[in-house]
Structure 1
Amino acid sequence: MHNLFKYLLLTLVSVNCCIGSNILFVSPVPSPSHHIWNRALAFGLVNKGHNVTLIGPDQDKVPKPANYTHILLEDIYDDLHDSFDINAFSSYSALRMMYEFEEWCLFSCKKLLKTNGLRRLLDYPPDFKFDLIIFDVTAGTCFYPLMHKLNYPPSVAVTAFLLPTYVANNFGNHLYPAYIPWYGLPYTTEMNFVQRVWNFVYMHFDIWLRYVKQYASEHDAAKEIFGENIPSMKELERHLSLVLTNTDPILDHPQAVAPNFIPVGGLHTRKSNNIPEDLQKLLDNAKNGVIVFSLGTNVRSDKLDKNIQKALLEAFSKISETVIWKFESELENLPKNVIVRKWLPQNDILGHPNVKLFIGHGGALSTQESIFHGVPMICIPFFVDQHINTRMIVKRKLGVSVDFKSITAGYMLRKLREILDDPTYRENMQKTASRFKDRTETPLERGIFWIEYVIRHGGANFLNTPARDYPFYVSSGLDVFVFLLLISIISISIFLKLIQLILKLFSTKTKVKVN
């Protein structure tokens, strides 16, 4: 009886040790989709009784729980929305995209560091204690010095950007350039030799560019705010002991991950609920089914070329299904079956039984929502991981791809008919959705467990593999391979020289004997 009481007491202590913990969630990536994913994790922690302070550049348009605080990093989007033209992405090379992404990260970093929101956080009383910091590590390191400022509480990294190469490398996961494509290349797991060469080059150049150039530049920018004596970004990053990644072998290309990588792909997905009344009525009354069209949060439909917009409307006018299009401004000459809204509760709408098809940009969160609800897709990719996600959707016959540069009314209509008339796509999506949901815990529950695990144990550095501290050529065994190759070449060379010498001596003796 005494042992049973002792066990129950220890269990109660271990469970309650992190309930009501103060968690700082650093979500600085200027991307509404990243905020949606991070907010889902933050709200999940709030629902478990934790006090979460989220700092980021996105306004929260949903009701805030009582123990959730949002600190706005203001005016970040002012200069970013007009910094690229989606119609020009067709001419972007992978190398140019890599450099521009690095420059965009540094540009947004400098703006983030000068916000009143960050000053508000830095003005917290010195005796206020955060029990854990969560960092979105997708785009930059400029807020890493918060760990130093807050006396190094246990810290966790997260990324909604699948598992980018630089995150995998920096946290000690092996790279698999032979069959895992770099996020900026339109490859699948089945690459030919030339593609594998390019994949290898881009993967490692991306790592070098970030490690050498971006880390140093952001460290210089951060010193203006946090002081000259802050440790290097690489040293600060070493205090992040665990990574939650938006990956899942059912949703993405399967790959092995180290123990400190926790796959929580589709963490933001959930059952449909709370659809606005006007949209609920539209969905319920759509006798011929519904097509949902949304290009996500970073790509605006109203920025598409006018000829493309016209071609899409013409194609939609020739089908009987109702089309609900997320279009950010006014749109004239709409066909009777096309409904335009400036904002859509995408996840909730996709869960309605009348939805037959989802037209999207191939972003990670959108494809995961579509798979979760078993809705086949037409993907119109523009940049970064959208091409990889689209190739995966096409390869598994979960949908089809559309090249936005080639859109005409006839081309789009053929793609629509292909999905709507072939039940294979929907059947494949339903099977994939069933596999994804068949698990002992949801991705959100898994993510929350491991965050609380880090709080309970004061970090999780014991899960890190030695590869995190080794250079690539050591962790991959490349140095040993090169050494053995050189030894083999030298040995073979010596052996051939000896054979040549013996033959020469034998030839000389033969000549002497003949003479």
Structure 2
Amino acid sequence: MVVVLQILFICSLSSWQYSNGAKILGIFSLPARSHYSLAEKLMKGFARVGHDITMVAPYPTENLPKNVTWEDIIVEGVVEKHKANMVGLMLKDSHRSAMEKLIIYQHTVLNHVNQTLFSFKVKALLSPTNKFDIVIIAMLYNEAHKYYAHYFECPLIVLGSMGATPFLNNIVSNPSPPSYVQYYLGAEDFSFDNFWHRFSNFFDYIFDFLVDYFYIRPVQNKLLQRAFPGAPPVDEIPTSLVFINSHESFMEPVPLVPNMIPIGGYHVEQPKQLPKDLKQFLDGATNGAIYFSMGSNLNVNQMEKKQIFFNVFGKLKEIRVLCKYADENFSNMSRNVLVKSWMPQNDILAHPNIKLFITHGGQLSTIESVYHAVPILAIPVFGDQFRNAKRAAKLGFGLEIGYNNERFNEETLLNYIEELLANPKYKENAKERSAIFHDRPLKPMENAVFWLEHVLRHKGADHLKVSGIDLPLYKYLMLDVVGSLILLILVFLYSVRLVFEMVMRLFTCSRKKEKEN
């Protein structure tokens, strides 16, 4: 009862403090649908509690809540280029090392950063007549977008879609020990007991730091100077708060500084009524149903091995399968399979007859499976999907096999599906992860609203920032202290050597005199 009263007090305080609403500018340049969906859900949550939203993005906002103040500013031309480049990029990703991925990803994002900075519509915002109380950007190799907070002289909040990644840790001085925190693009099973795993992990972190410090930041500064001559370096633009799409129910617990706030799962809404055809199909699945989707960036019809999935689904005669596939008129499909080009994933996973989710292992899909306690078969293709898939298998609520794995074939896929459906441990583990997910003092969106308004109330919330942000690199890494210790040790050893040599000379002279006498 006391906890309930505290929550009500916090919520009432927030709504009282900002009854007129703050003006929020959101900059979300990445045209990947999943990343945009995260940004859109966050801004809609803030709009529902009375804040005025201006959203810069490559897509127009759909299904706006009633009675909200909202303006879309569309960055045009980026979606088409993104779609043209992504298929080839994604399907070859499993053959790349973490170093190659880092270079390729940041090159891919530069185009979106550039088009946003030079967009006529976005530049029109930078007017003396415009004022914003806070700027929110989705961070993925786009540090130049921090400039908008500098221009409007307001606090900056950063949204991270993949947890506490190095490019987020760097801007708030969050520690990430490579001894037990796996690099976010690492694909192999990580064990802190394995020397070579730790060695490789350490090397990945070092490489990431060098690329970030000596390449990515200088490139971002050059872009920023071209767009806005005289702008400060991106390192000098402070970040008040970082929202990370993370939670211990589906990710490894890691260190977080006070201004790094996990709100993982805020995008999951209460399930709605299914369309009539989907409801009838799932209601009639007395032996259970499987939902199959490879996410929003990669359509199954673009995959060379798609027939493997269809052949396996045809062998599951007693199990119904919902298949997200671009060609709804595709004829080579078993009668137990229903094909749709678009499906309400969250609402489907909430149906009690869904027994398994076959997924690419994206962050949002993994979260939704945990939310609804549905076991997964993860088939990662790109980016952090490999890490998510490994973690699901490690936590026991799924199995994983990479799309480009040499063992990926009909027999393996069928065996994995049958194991997941027959063995109750996966469902029990999924229920346990779901219970952890839901066991929080505030719902994720409520938590996000509280911390947004905390930053507004306290004018940037400098009290949350650790002092490491203000330290130069050599002090943060204690290089001056380590160097001093090494110098002291060398001086001590040199002094010992001099004393030893002096003693030896005295001893030699003494022996020589004894012989002469």
The TM-score, its normalising length taken from structure 1, stands at 0.89
Structure 2 contact 191–197 (Cα < 8 Å) conserved: no
Structure 2 contact 171–239 (Cα < 8 Å) conserved: no
Q: Cα distance, 1:346 vs. partner? A: 1.3
Mapping 1:187-226, distance limit 5 Å: 187-188=188-189, 190-191=191-192, 192-225=194-227
Instruction: Name the CA shift for 1:501/1:410 in 2 (closer, same or farther; >3 Å).
Output: farther
Structure 1 stretch 488-497 or stretch 68-77: which is displaced more?
Answer: 488-497
In 2, Cα distance between the equivalents of 1:439 and 1:118?
A: 38
Question: Does residue 180 of structure 2 align to residue 179 of structure 1?
Answer: yes
Residue 74 (structure 2) aligns with: 72
In 2, Cα distance between the equivalents of 1:275 and 1:69?
A: 30
In 2, Cα distance between the equivalents of 1:394 and 1:252?
A: 12
Residue 87 of structure 1 aligns with an amino acid whose one-letter code is L
Residue 310 of structure 1 aligns with an amino acid whose one-letter code is Q
Structure 1 contact 34–160 (Cα < 8 Å) conserved: yes
Residue 318 (structure 1) aligns with: 315
Residue 3 (structure 2) aligns with: none
Structure 1 contact 243–261 (Cα < 8 Å) conserved: yes
Gaps of 5+ in 1: 1-7
Structure 1 stretch 132-141 or stretch 450-459: which is displaced more?
Answer: 132-141
In 1, Cα distance between the equivalents of 2:319 and 2:389?
A: 24
In 2, Cα distance between the equivalents of 1:486 and 1:170?
A: 32
In 1, Cα distance between the equivalents of 2:366 and 2:480?
A: 40
Residue 342 (structure 1) aligns with: 341
Residue 160 (structure 2) aligns with: 159
Residue 249 of structure 1 aligns with an amino acid whose one-letter code is E
In 1, Cα distance between the equivalents of 2:208 and 2:339?
A: 40
Instruction: Name the CA shift for 1:287/1:113 in 2 (closer, same or farther; >3 Å).
Output: same
In 2, Cα distance between the equivalents of 1:13 and 1:362?
A: 36
Structure 1 stretch 367-376 or stretch 199-208: which is displaced more?
Answer: 199-208
Q: Cα distance, 1:448 vs. partner? A: 0.7
Instruction: Name the CA shift for 1:242/1:155 in 2 (closer, same or farther; >3 Å).
Output: same
Structure 2 contact 44–64 (Cα < 8 Å) conserved: no
SS at match of 2:83: coil
Instruction: Name the CA shift for 1:228/1:358 in 2 (closer, same or farther; >3 Å).
Output: same
Q: Percent identity?
A: 29
Structure 2 contact 91–382 (Cα < 8 Å) conserved: no
SS at match of 2:307: helix
Question: Does residue 464 of structure 2 align to residue 463 of structure 1?
Answer: yes
Structure 2 contact 14–453 (Cα < 8 Å) conserved: no
In 2, Cα distance between the equivalents of 1:384 and 1:507?
A: 70
Equivalent of 1:309, from 306, 309, 313? 306
In 1, Cα distance between the equivalents of 2:96 and 2:165?
A: 19
Instruction: Name the CA shift for 1:310/1:17 in 2 (closer, same or farther; >3 Å).
Output: closer
In 1, Cα distance between the equivalents of 2:168 and 2:14?
A: 34
Residue 205 of structure 2 aligns with an amino acid whose one-letter code is M
Instruction: Name the CA shift for 1:352/1:207 in 2 (closer, same or farther; >3 Å).
Output: same
Q: Cα distance, 1:147 vs. partner? A: 2.4
Residue 458 of structure 2 aligns with an amino acid whose one-letter code is H
Instruction: Name the CA shift for 1:508/1:73 in 2 (closer, same or farther; >3 Å).
Output: same
Instruction: Name the CA shift for 1:422/1:325 in 2 (closer, same or farther; >3 Å).
Output: same
Structure 1 contact 171–468 (Cα < 8 Å) conserved: yes
In 1, Cα distance between the equivalents of 2:102 and 2:22?
A: 38
Residue 128 (structure 1) aligns with: 130
Instruction: Name the CA shift for 1:494/1:61 in 2 (closer, same or farther; >3 Å).
Output: same
Question: Does residue 17 of structure 2 align to residue 16 of structure 1?
Answer: yes
Residue 394 (structure 2) aligns with: 395
SS at match of 1:178: coil
Q: Cα distance, 1:367 vs. partner? A: 0.8
Instruction: Name the CA shift for 1:376/1:484 in 2 (closer, same or farther; >3 Å).
Output: same
Instruction: Name the CA shift for 1:267/1:17 in 2 (closer, same or farther; >3 Å).
Output: closer
Mapping 1:82-481, distance limit 5 Å: 82-83=84-85, 84-119=88-123, 121-122=125-126, 126-150=128-152, 152-188=153-189, 190-191=191-192, 192-225=194-227, 227-236=228-237, 239-305=238-304, 308-319=305-316, 320-330=318-328, 331-405=330-404, 406-481=407-482
How large is the Cα RMSD of the aligned pairs? 2.5
Structure 2 contact 176–254 (Cα < 8 Å) conserved: no
In 1, Cα distance between the equivalents of 2:417 and 2:37?
A: 29
Structure 1 stretch 40-49 or stretch 63-72: which is displaced more?
Answer: 63-72
How many residues in Structure 1 have an aligned counterpart in Structure 2? 498
Q: Cα distance, 1:507 vs. partner? A: 6.6
SS at match of 1:292: strand
Q: Cα distance, 1:501 vs. partner? A: 5.8
Instruction: Name the CA shift for 1:504/1:18 in 2 (closer, same or farther; >3 Å).
Output: farther
List per-residue Cα deviations over 1:86-135 (Å, max 9, x = no partner).
Answer: 3322322222211111211212222233435424534xx63332222111
SS at match of 1:266: coil
In 2, Cα distance between the equivalents of 1:496 and 1:416?
A: 70
Structure 1 contact 179–188 (Cα < 8 Å) conserved: no
Residue 434 of structure 1 aligns with an amino acid whose one-letter code is A
Q: Cα distance, 1:489 vs. partner? A: 5.0
Runs of 4+ in 1 over 6 A off after TM superposition: 11-14
Structure 2 contact 99–207 (Cα < 8 Å) conserved: no
In 2, Cα distance between the equivalents of 1:73 and 1:375?
A: 37
SS at match of 1:404: coil
Instruction: Name the CA shift for 1:116/1:283 in 2 (closer, same or farther; >3 Å).
Output: farther
List per-residue Cα deviations over 1:219-266 (Å, max 9, x = no partner).
Answer: 3333444x3122222222xx3211111121222111111111111112
Q: Cα distance, 1:383 vs. partner? A: 2.4
Structure 1 contact 76–108 (Cα < 8 Å) conserved: yes
Residue 4 (structure 1) aligns with: none
Structure 1 contact 379–399 (Cα < 8 Å) conserved: yes
List per-residue Cα deviations over 1:156-208 (Å, max 9, x = no partner).
Answer: 11111222112112211112111111111114552422222222232233233
Residue 40 (structure 2) aligns with: 39
Residue 204 of structure 1 aligns with an amino acid whose one-letter code is I
In 2, Cα distance between the equivalents of 1:96 and 1:253?
A: 24
Structure 1 contact 177–200 (Cα < 8 Å) conserved: yes
SS at match of 2:332: coil
Residue 396 of structure 2 aligns with an amino acid whose one-letter code is K
Residue 326 of structure 2 aligns with an amino acid whose one-letter code is E
Residue 375 of structure 1 aligns with an amino acid whose one-letter code is V
